[in-house]
Amino acid sequence: MEGLEGTLAELRDTFKSGRTRSVAWRKSQLRAMIEFVQDNEEEMFKVLDQDLGKHPVEAYRDEVGVVAKSAKLSLSCVEKWMAPKKGNLPLAFFPASAEVMPEPFGVVLIMGSWNFPISLTLDPLIGAISAGNVVVLKPSELSPACSSFLAEAIPKYLDPKSIKVIEGGIDVCEQLLQQNWDKIFFTGSQRVGRIVMTAAAQHLTPVTLELGGKSPAILDSSSNPTNMKVIAKRIVAAKWGSCSGQACIAIDYMLVEEKFASYLIDLLEKTIKQFFGENPRESKSLCKILNKNNFMRLLDLLKDPLIRASVVYGGSVDEETMYIEPTILLNPPLDSQIMTEEIFGPLLPIITLNNIHDSIEFISSRPKPLAIYAFTRDETFKKQILSKTSSGSVTFNDTLLQFVCDSLPFGGVGQSGFGRYHGKYSFDTFSHEKAILQRRFFPELEPRYPPWNNLKFQFIKLLYAFNYIGLLLLLLGLKK
């Protein structure tokens, strides 16, 4: 505990010194970040493979590449982002100027997640640095190889007086959460999100919570057969091709019309074999289940006989190697755990509906997810999905892409979280927008001051209502 308080005191002093505010410091750190990624690419592939069995292509696409791209964008834009933005002023305030100046919050805490242990720690870090803060980075202890790698490598590249990596488990998290932070950025589960926000409330610390939920994929029959092959690929990639389904924006479950179900299942089976071979257990392109806890949790979801009966593909497991085959289920009971909890694993329930338009009611009667995916060519249906459902994001005819679009805010709503980042949103999320109004001593407006009389009253009333004509008439009336 003393060590932690000492660390925080050091960070506060660094921040007070103003060191992290300069453009030069921020750019130097961002350049160092780029160098860090270039120098350590192989090492990152190695630790991601150790923790999650992640293939270098996935590791690059979802982690290393994301960080490199983000650092480069921030480096080229940070000066622009830092510049004060002018605001319009009504004539009534003349002469004056109004602007908004972004300033760093101060000492920020970033808590990363285990499924994308590199990008979900370093991408927010890039935002915090661009905004001029000092940072404590707490990688997830559930991905230990990545956590130690970050603890060892980050101090070699980034300013150790301003950016600290603290490793540890629940007890360390609890200690961290007791401190008075200027901002907390958390990626993880809803359960822990509540704990983080409750702790933050004690110090009135603003938070960004990047959580999860059950992200559905809607597939309607308007898609033509040639596209169906591509659709199947995108679905399989968004489920099993992204950390084996252990991703906040992975497809959690699917909604299709009844008549379409067997065609879809067939297509998915073929695609799974295409991607992962006849024996997916031996595929190097499939991430492993994180650990025993998660494995048992997923097994539990399949335990119930009614659930087992709904498995139409896959379903085999190997406890020793903690392997679960890519599994598809058809219409498991809607009140079962697999349909009420976020799955976060390689199990894909398919729910059939009489009419695909019922998917809107299905989704909107459930907690708001982080993402909704909809495969359709029906423009009216698209509009209805947009206006009648709510989610962090919506992607039409593809999956996962919203994650790599730097111009789009990435974040949740409702139970899937609040706050957002990526691109400039990362800078904004770690900045306080300070409003600045600058006035001059002359000219002076006498009517502003008491004692009040009717003329002053009329004047001020008209002035505040921006009724310039009225003001003019009032003044003219006075002049006779």
Query: Active site residue: 146, 248, 287, 342, which one?
Result: 248
Q: d(Cα 390, Cα 375) in Å, to the nearest integer?
A: 17
Q: d(Cα 65, Cα 59) in Å, to the nearest integer?
A: 8
Q: d(Cα 10, Cα 281) in Å, to the nearest integer?
A: 49
Q: Is 405 an annotated catalytic residue?
A: no
Q: d(Cα 184, Cα 177) in Å, to the nearest integer?
A: 9
Q: Is 152 an annotated catalytic residue?
A: no
Element (H, E) at 371: strand 371-375
CB of 307 to another protein, least distance (A): 27
Q: How many other C-beta atoms can be found within 10 angstroms of the C-beta atom of residue 99?
A: 15
Q: CB-wise, 258 or 361, nearer to another protein?
A: 361
Query: Active site residue: 58, 63, 210, 325, which one?
Result: 210
3-state SS, residue 207 = strand
Q: CB-wise, 135 or 462, nearer to another protein?
A: 462
Element (H, E) at 271: helix 261-276
8 Å CB contact between 185 and 128: yes
CB of 165 to another protein, least distance (A): 25
CB of 304 to another protein, least distance (A): 28
Residues 6+ apart with CB under 8 A from 26: 20, 78, 82, 129, 130, 132
8 Å CB contact between 324 and 296: no
Q: How many other C-beta atoms can be found within 10 angstroms of the C-beta atom of residue 26?
A: 24
Residue 61 CA, chain-centre distance (Å), reads 16
Give the E-state strand segments of 113-262 in sequence order. Answer: 134-138, 163-165, 183-187, 207-210, 216-219, 253-257
Q: CB-wise, 109 or 211, nearer to another protein?
A: 211
Q: CB-wise, 287 or 301, nearer to another protein?
A: 287
8 Å CB contact between 108 and 142: no
Q: CB-wise, 66 or 118, nearer to another protein?
A: 66
Q: Alpha-carbon torsion 49, 422, 171, 320, what sign?
A: negative
Q: d(Cα 289, Cα 230) in Å, to the nearest integer?
A: 26
Q: d(Cα 297, Cα 102) in Å, to the nearest integer?
A: 44
CB of 361 to another protein, least distance (A): 10
CB of 184 to another protein, least distance (A): 11
Residue numbers annotated as active site:
210, 248
